[in-house]
Structure 1
Amino acid sequence: MPGVAEPPTVSVVICSYTMDRWDLLIKVIGSVQEQTYSAQQIVVVVDHNPDLYKRLIAAVRDATIVENSGPRGLSGARNTGVGLARSEIVAFLDDDAEAAPDWLEHLTAFYDDPDVLAVGGRVEPVWEAGRPGYFGEELDWIVGCTHRGLPRIASEVRNVIGANMSFRRDVLLQVGGFNVALGRKGSVPLGCEETEICIRSTVGAPGSRVVYEPAAVVRHFVPATRGTLKYMVARSWSEGISKAQVSQLVGHKRALGPERRYVRRVLPRAVFSGLGDWVLKGRREGLGRAGAVVAVLAFTAAGYVRGRQIAHADAGLSAPPLRAQWREAQ
């Protein structure tokens, strides 16, 4: 029909770095191949692991298997995938995040609005050993999942979640891709590259939007090792450092606005709820949840302070092209 826009084409990029997730990776690829809204292209990027690359080449059909041509790390791998993508929209999945059958259908529904630059969805944890009693849903961001406090209906947000996100390809190319100075490198739990690129994408485009659609679901496997208190505080420390890096690049207000609201509104309720369960209902796990929230907040704040010290000491935090692009956008 005249005047009806064609649905956008989609390339799905899946980044992987370890043979340990082989079975999960195969399931993730299969979940993309079985979408109700078909991807034009599936690109699996292997982050500097020749053995994994060779095994994928031999085992996987109907997907493009490539090695990361950039620096080691998730940002470099994603940029490699973007460079090979042929579609209007580039969607990203983690190698341990299996997509629901209608995942792409929900993500692409918003791109008929030219002001929408990126769309992300809900990430639900699949706990290998069950959710620990002290691990409240308010802290699910620690394991890369949607946490309590995020919108329950489609809403405009500052940034999407890395395990379940999509962008217009021309936007990613225009801003220079993901900042390779940020993001996870192997098992080192740094992050915030998604936050930074979402801010960088919208700041130079007045009226543009990033959308969170909770109906677009992926299920993220959470190994037992990531449910421990040790991992929680380590990830919190790293998150603080990462947030300090982003604030150095884009300014404190843009980098920390949603986090301030989260600390003021979501975390106090989580603490009081946990204490209430302990005092009124005799549930010891309530005390554990409250204590975990306090510990996570303390370690994140300490990491942020440390990250600010590092950023001030290292004037070369970001690659010069990204810093130059940011100044031009402003």
Structure 2
Amino acid sequence: MARLAAHGKYLLDGAQKFYLRGVSYGPFAPNSRGERYPEPERAAADFALMNRLGANLIRLYVPPPPWMVEEAQKAGLRMMLGIPWPFHMAFLDSRDMMREIRGAIRKTVLETRQFGETIAAYSIGNEIRSDIVRWHGPRAVSRFLAELRELGKQIDPGALFTYSNYPSAEYLDLSFLDFISFNVYLHREEDFRRYLTHLMGQAGELPLVLSETGMDTVREGEQHQAELLSWQCRAAFETGLSGFIVFAFTDEWHTGGSEITDWAFGLTRRDRSPKLAFDAVAKVFGGNLPPTLPAAPKATVVVAAYNAASTLGECLSSIRELNYPNYETIVIDDGSTDSTSEIAGRSGVRAIRVEHNGLAAARNAGVGAASGEIVAFIDADARADRDWLYHLVETIERRDAAAAAGPNFAPAPAFARAAAMTAAPGLPREVRAGDDRLAQLCGCNMAITKAALLKVGGFDPMFATAGDDVDLSWRLAASAETLAYAPGAVVIHERRATLAAYLRQQRGYGAGEGLLFRKYPLRIADQDGIYAGPSWIGSMFGGARVYYGAFGRGLFQTVYAADNSYADLPLTIQWVGLSLILLILGGVNRLLGVLGAGGVALSMLAAAAGAASAPLP
């Protein structure tokens, strides 16, 4: 058993993905030693039953005694160790309380760091009440949680730290964590899947773990619980989550100084006899993760490559390792003048060389040669996650969609210049149209049914460098086709290594946007997020809207923040163009020249301010 690491969108055990398959445990009435856990013999028997379930993680809400960690270690179980403190109180209003909270974090990590391999993660909090978050302000709460995480890291740098949030406070910035945890109780499958997809997008590049879900069998019955947890467990791993934790292992539960007898969320009864849900969860936990597709249609992976010798080998190597049973790979060499064709040939994939006619024409050549029902596209300078194709196809099949696309992330930068390129604006990405739908696909990470491609006539070859994916997205949407978001389908996409290369890329994107504007002159920018995004004029009448309920206790809150503001006005092409015109007219009228120079200066200041505030990875 080695320490887990968080890398990209997933948790890793060494070089392999690690899926948390967990149950919550306790708290219980104090045992003969005064510990809030069962006697050692009972705990050892419980751990053996968890092994039968296929679990590999126990979520705890109070720190365990050393003997219990050792028993878990013997059983091959890791722990997500919760550190209790008064989440329900206005803790930032009391210096003494803040000091006690820091002390609790420090004490727990110091006392348990010796069990590093068994501690999968420390949970530095659980569901701070949404009205408390509103009272203190989300930024202040986030800062305090970040401080607690940093305190723990100073004591045990190799440990992972998380915080278990819930929908009523989903707007909290938790980007400083090693992975995101959410407690979600939704009993309709459509709502559950859509909300998990939303959370995957909100989590960005961090892994997401469902840290609590379940059903009370007193009110709902054991059959209903079994059905619910079966599809919830599958849905979580099909969506791309890194873990699924059931609340709870047993009906035995003691909290607030009382034994809870009117709720029964356990997979086992108080006497530890399994309920129907035990076998339902065990079936998913014991199978392949992510779950095997009922049917796997043949897919074709198309890589359009132009002078891609420096990156194509790694791209094809990642495609060879895909977790998908039925696919082919085709490289379209778009008239390269380097060794792209030779690298493709040595990789053992089908390689087709065509005259250099640009990106869209190369992708069309790949579609024409594809024998798969679904055609997936990845750029030659990108690397696919092992489950990339699985998540694209699973999403298309389940949603009956024409296409699906996922996120692309930059590799970890090795030096400052690479970090700056990673943080630079204008990089390729998918454009969301809701929790689980897309307005635009992103060409470096997308899959489309061949039938849909043929229906709309494929890619428009006029888009030689960029814009072909946007054009195709709009034509698919106009044909009433669904473009689905597949957040688990991750690719690592290289960013440009130098400023000159970045500027060439941006010129190509600009040319693509110009072609889109000519082809769709009446297209609304605010609706599509193209032509530099929503207009600043729209933002003057918009602003952030927060649906938070009475006293901040509304369920499933979402913050809709405007993408730009008055501060963005000096960065618009209209402002820059007008400033340059006034600067030129300064030769005729000095005042116009001063106004033009002031406009240019404000543009430069706005750009500098944006660069200074951009978070460097």
Mapped contact 1:199–1:254 kept (Cα < 8 A): no
Whole-angstrom distance in 2 between the partners of 1:122 and 1:270:
28
Amino acid at match of 2:473: C
Mapped contact 2:312–2:340 kept (Cα < 8 A): no
Find the counterpart in structure 2 of residue 67 from structure 1.
353
Change (3 A) 1:57 1:109: closer
Whole-angstrom distance in 1 between the partners of 2:609 and 2:369:
44
Amino acid at match of 2:305: S
Whole-angstrom distance in 1 between the partners of 2:521 and 2:294:
38
Change (3 A) 1:221 1:92: same
Find the counterpart in structure 2 of residue 252 from structure 1.
522
Could you tell me how far 1:243 is from its partner in structure 2?
2.3
Change (3 A) 1:86 1:151: same
1:34 aligns with 2:331: no
Whole-angstrom distance in 2 between the partners of 1:165 and 1:270:
34
Change (3 A) 1:224 1:135: closer
Change (3 A) 1:224 1:50: closer
Find the counterpart in structure 1 of residue 367 from structure 2.
82
Could you tell me how far 1:48 is from its partner in structure 2?
0.8
Query: RMSD of the TM alignment (CA)?
Result: 3.5
Match of 2:397, SS? coil
Whole-angstrom distance in 2 between the partners of 1:233 and 1:48:
23
Counterpart of 2:387 (choices 81, 94, 102) is 102
Change (3 A) 1:135 1:171: same
Find the counterpart in structure 2 of residue 123 from structure 1.
408
Change (3 A) 1:133 1:95: closer
Whole-angstrom distance in 2 between the partners of 1:255 and 1:291:
25
Match of 1:155, SS? coil
- Once the two structures are superposed, residues 27-52 of structure 1 have per-residue CA deviations (whole angstroms, 9 ceiling, x without a partner) of 11111110111452100110112653
Amino acid at match of 1:180: P
1:14 aligns with 2:295: no
1:239 aligns with 2:509: yes
Change (3 A) 1:193 1:233: same
Whole-angstrom distance in 1 between the partners of 2:567 and 2:408:
20
1:192 aligns with 2:512: no
Find the counterpart in structure 2 of residue 163 from structure 1.
444
Whole-angstrom distance in 2 between the partners of 1:270 and 1:258:
22
- Once the two structures are superposed, residues 37-78 of structure 1 have per-residue CA deviations (whole angstroms, 9 ceiling, x without a partner) of 1452100110112653551365121x1111126x51111111
Could you tell me how far 1:268 is from its partner in structure 2?
3.5
Whole-angstrom distance in 1 between the partners of 2:418 and 2:346:
36
Whole-angstrom distance in 2 between the partners of 1:163 and 1:215:
15
Match of 1:90, SS? strand
Amino acid at match of 2:482: R
Find the counterpart in structure 2 of residue 188 from structure 1.
none
Whole-angstrom distance in 1 between the partners of 2:310 and 2:490:
20
Consecutive unaligned residues in structure 1, runs of 5 or more: 185-190, 273-284, 294-330
Whole-angstrom distance in 1 between the partners of 2:313 and 2:421:
29
Could you tell me how far 1:241 is from its partner in structure 2?
3.9
Whole-angstrom distance in 2 between the partners of 1:262 and 1:160:
21
Whole-angstrom distance in 2 between the partners of 1:292 and 1:91:
37
Could you tell me how far 1:177 is from its partner in structure 2?
1.3
Find the counterpart in structure 2 of residue 209 from structure 1.
482
Pick 1 or 2: higher relative contact order, CA cutoff 8 A, min separation 6: 1
Whole-angstrom distance in 2 between the partners of 1:197 and 1:30:
28
Match of 1:216, SS? coil
Could you tell me how far 1:231 is from its partner in structure 2?
5.6
TM-score by length of 1: 0.67
Which shifted more, 154-163 or 27-36? 154-163
Mapped contact 2:403–2:448 kept (Cα < 8 A): yes
Mapped contact 1:16–1:95 kept (Cα < 8 A): yes
Mapped contact 1:74–1:183 kept (Cα < 8 A): yes
Change (3 A) 1:95 1:58: closer
- Once the two structures are superposed, residues 127-182 of structure 1 have per-residue CA deviations (whole angstroms, 9 ceiling, x without a partner) of 4644667668582x43x346xxx659962111111110110011112222111111
Change (3 A) 1:26 1:236: closer
Find the counterpart in structure 1 of residue 608 from structure 2.
288
Change (3 A) 1:287 1:76: closer
Match of 1:11, SS? strand
Find the counterpart in structure 2 of residue 222 from structure 1.
495
Mapped contact 1:123–1:218 kept (Cα < 8 A): yes
Whole-angstrom distance in 2 between the partners of 1:158 and 1:22:
32
Mapped contact 1:13–1:93 kept (Cα < 8 A): yes
Amino acid at match of 2:451: D
Flag the structure with larger Rg.
Answer: 2
Counterpart of 2:330 (choices 40, 43, 46) is 43
- Once the two structures are superposed, residues 197-232 of structure 1 have per-residue CA deviations (whole angstroms, 9 ceiling, x without a partner) of 11112212x3x211122221000111321xx3x666
Find the counterpart in structure 2 of residue 266 from structure 1.
563
Whole-angstrom distance in 1 between the partners of 2:438 and 2:320:
29
Whole-angstrom distance in 1 between the partners of 2:606 and 2:311:
32
Mapped contact 2:395–2:486 kept (Cα < 8 A): no
Could you tell me how far 1:105 is from its partner in structure 2?
1.1
Mapped contact 1:12–1:41 kept (Cα < 8 A): yes
Whole-angstrom distance in 1 between the partners of 2:503 and 2:344:
38
1:179 aligns with 2:460: yes
| Number of aligned residues | 258
Change (3 A) 1:152 1:220: farther
Could you tell me how far 1:15 is from its partner in structure 2?
1.2
Whole-angstrom distance in 2 between the partners of 1:108 and 1:269:
42
- Once the two structures are superposed, residues 253-296 of structure 1 have per-residue CA deviations (whole angstroms, 9 ceiling, x without a partner) of 36662324386422439969xxxxxxxxxxxx997352699xxx
Percent identity of the aligned residues?
23
Could you tell me how far 1:245 is from its partner in structure 2?
2.0
